[in-house]
Chains A and B, each alone.
Chain A
Amino acid sequence: MQAKLSAIAFSVAAAFALAGCGQKEEPKAAAPAVPAGKPEVVVKLGHVAPMTGPQAHLGKDNENGAVLAVEELNAKGMEIGGAKVKFELINEDDAADPKQGAIVAQKLVDAKVNGVIGHLNSGTTIPASKLYSDAGVPQISGSATNPKYTQQGFKTAFRVMANDVQQGKILGEFAVKQGVKTVAIVDDRTAYGQGLADEFRKAAEASGLKVVATEYTNDKATDFKAILTKIKSTKAELVFYGGMDAQGGPMAKQMKELGIKAKFLGGDGVCTPEFMKLGGEATEGNFCSLPGMPLEKLAKGPAFKDKFTKKFNTEIQLYAPYVYDAVMVMADSMKRADSVDPAKFLPEVGKTNYDGVTAQIQFDELGDLKGGAISIYQYKGGKLEYVETLGGTPIETAKAEVKEAVVEVKDAAKAVAGAATAVGKEVAAEAKDAAKAATEAGKDAVKAGAEAVKNAADATKAAVEKK
């Protein structure tokens, strides 16, 4: 009996404890801002990143970017819907754990935020995006690069950074430019590493490279000699690694120990000072990529850097400028919609054309950044040196679109011609029907092609005008 009593006591205590916590949260969960002719409207923006755990330093960096943007917006004093707007940032920690990501996302939805900036990791961003989508809260991530995030069909999901598909593709093209013929691919079987390696493979194979070995490791491994020995036997000229610096560094080192002469190439996971520290001399001459362009190369980059270091007295780690832009895009959309109501300004987010710190931000139909640029760096003398930026310029994308459209038109014309000959040759009723269908299909194709050409031309025009 005592056992049962204590069970009850425990449950009651738990209930009270929870209720107690609830009361503390109450002010936060207060009614959302309703622009009813009041002089000031509070706009709540949620921001989520890991503030604890191994990526805490990156999380803090993201938060700083958001804080800077919000302070600037408030200092500027925006007016939306006839009322003065005050932005308020609600920071949450997801510890880079998908389960906790869902819990804090729920918390933000409960708090009726007007928009969400984040999360940092794709692993938490993807499960959380469902909750935001259900609640109709626009979400802009400055750092989640997994393509899946925007491919789920949620109207609320956006990102202001090139995704892994774009990065993998550019890395593949870069490998070709290096003049190698055979590559070996290693990935660490994480969502990030595998995604990047897959895209690299597609791009490499499409441009005629031969993938001679595909090996795997995991994100806790320290010994890569077995797989490297196998790669050695295939005599690959370049080793691509999809994964993080903690494995990439020792891997580069062990390659050297085994006498492998191949070049080493990786994505943003190995484009860190940490990689050089762990790989030592073996990293010299290796290449890696980072999404976006180096701040120094951007029109507004150096100014942003100054502002940032002055305010926080610390260097920018990685994604702060992107998070800053994410906040700005959100505010810009509200302004254009002249409303802070998520339902009203959400359509405007998709139509964004904002001149941000990191890029001219436009979204495609999925919510991905249009023409995200990727920069290549090389390790030289213990430093990361900028090599070049690939992809990303609107003119180039436009050119590519025109090319595609022309091919489409050509195909369509061929189809029409084929259909016509079919009509000429066969007079039977069946053939006629088939030909009719073919002609119609051809017509459609021509139409589509023409439209594509038009779009591409428009894009080119816009790009040229911008220049």
Chain B
Amino acid sequence: MSRLETRGLVIDVPGRADGRALDLCLAPEQVWGVLGPNGAGKTTLLHTLAGLRDPRAGQVELDGQPLANLRRRRVARQLGMIFQERQDGFPATVLETALIGRHPYLSAWQMEGGDDVRLAEEALERLDVAHLKHRLVNTLSGGERQRVAIATVLTQSPQLWLADEPTNHLDLHHQTAVMALLAEQSAAGKVVLMCLHDLNLAARWCDHLLLFYPDGEACWGPASDMLVPSALERLYDQRLATAEIDGAPVFVPAR
């Protein structure tokens, strides 16, 4: 069980005022959604939370310890990240790609063993890409690559999931499958935080939301408190129509 907290965190978006400092507390069994228009700094926030980028002010703490003081290897055993953009400069198979999720757990001289391969294959199976395991990643479709990337983090099996647009490129069925996977992780005591473009996915699957405005202003809290049409309309600068289906709110852009 891990916990991620931020203290007076101001992310470093070049040329933008500090805005509101973030004091978040991401606890086990929570699913957080980060909503905001293009350029609000959602990806920058995720990278900062993962310790891949220095904040302008404040700090991120993993289980009470400043993230910047921890060794990357130790961090990688607890915190996994699904990137929105990936580099496939060199050819690699799907299985090899999933296996790098085991990197934080293996010593320098250790080769990936049978157990590691089994974990990777299970993850690929879970993401419905096991049949592709000997294919080269750069020959896959966008949606298949996205699922391989998620399978890599599943192989890494972190306590904290940071996901940047996890449903990118995915068809409706796989969108739902991935959201269900993340919900399942959360139910098993993990922490999940994801950036989402789809307001309705957020409304359907997230129990906490962080609304991120282009000027650096932000507000956060339980989803039920955040899903106020007026606030969302201000967030996206877009009028919305609201309905309720299966007891959950659904937002549609008004004409």
Question: Do A and B come from the same complex?
Answer: no
Using a CB–CB cutoff of 8 Å, the interface residues on chain A facing chain B are: none
